[in-house]
């Protein structure tokens, strides 16, 4: 249970710089986010209607993947690059992460509103199998623990953030603003159908 609204939780994924400032991902340079154009991507495998879809890719050259360098090294993952393809709809995200070009992790986030400022946030973490049972077990523990730790860090902010925080924007807020526009278009559709 999170004390915020659906939009806040989903738009957080469009704030690529918070991976460094909140989740302790150490990078060699800056984190890059590219908003995808529906003309450039294949959506046929996703259960998302085209008009309810928004997508982006986050890329970075990293020193640590969300604060687990020592453990990822032990896993044989001396990772140098990460890229996450995110497919969003107004109340959910499917994020597929590649480390050094190899798909390792898929995270499904969905949010269910309960009341004005209360939501249920569900997170499902899927770890790609490597074919090595020991590595797979360790990966489940590491990525599972990491997912929980990152979720708690976000929840702490959501629970304490005032609903009208964030009135002035800078260039790197563009993806969040784009998501807000997209989200609002669905709020309008829902209201006009009442
Ligand atoms: Fe986060």
Residue 73 pLDDT: 61
The residues, any chain, with a CB within 8 Å of residue 7's CB and separated by 6 or more, are 179, 180, 183
Residue 146, pLDDT score: 81
What is the Å distance from ligand 1's center to 76 Cα? 25
Mean pLDDT confidence for 132-156: 85
Q: The pTM is what?
A: 0.87
> What does the mean pLDDT of the chain come to?
87
Please give the residue range of the domain that contains residue 76: 6-192
Nearest to 53 by CA among 39, 65, 70: 39
CA of 191 to the centre of ligand 1 (A): 29
In a domain, 1, yes or no: no
* Neighbour-count burial for 157-189, b at 16+ CB within 10 Å, e otherwise: ebeeeeeeeeeeeeeebebbeebbebbeeeeee
Domain assignment present for residue 27? The answer is yes
What's 81's domain CATH number?
A: 3.90.380.10
Q: How far is the CA of 5 from the centre of ligand 1 (A)?
A: 15
* Mean pLDDT score, 2-9: 91
Is 75 a domain residue?
yes
118 part of a folded domain: yes
- Residue 91 pLDDT greater than 90, yes or no: yes
Query: Residue 22 C-alpha to ligand 1 middle, in angstroms?
Result: 7
pLDDT value of residue 71: 60
Report how far ligand 1's centroid is from the alpha carbon of 24 (Å). Answer: 10
Give the chain's domain count: 1
């Amino acid at each position: 249970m999170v004390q915020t609204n659906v939009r806040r939780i989903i738009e957080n994924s469009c704030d690529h710089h918070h991976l460094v400032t909140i989740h302790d991902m150490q990078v060699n340079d800056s984190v890059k986010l590219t908003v995808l154009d529906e003309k450039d991507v294949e959506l046929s495998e996703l259960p998302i209607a085209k008009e309810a879809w928004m997508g982006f890719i986050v890329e970075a050259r990293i020193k640590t993947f969300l604060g687990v360098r020592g453990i990822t090294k032990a896993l044989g993952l001396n990772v140098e690059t990460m890229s996450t393809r995110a497919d969003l709809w107004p109340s959910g995200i499917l994020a597929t992460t590649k480390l050094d070009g190899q798909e390792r992790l898929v995270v499904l986030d969905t949010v269910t509103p309960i009341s004005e400022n209360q939501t249920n946030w569900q997170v499902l973490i899927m770890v790609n199998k490597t074919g090595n049972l020991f590595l797979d077990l360790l990966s489940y523990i590491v990525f599972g623990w990491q997912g929980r730790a990152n979720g708690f860090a976000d929840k702490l902010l959501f629970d304490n953030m005032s609903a009208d925080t964030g009135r002035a924007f800078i260039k790197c807020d563009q993806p969040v603003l784009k998501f807000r526009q997209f989200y609002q278009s669905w709020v309008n559709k829902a209201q006009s159908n009442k």
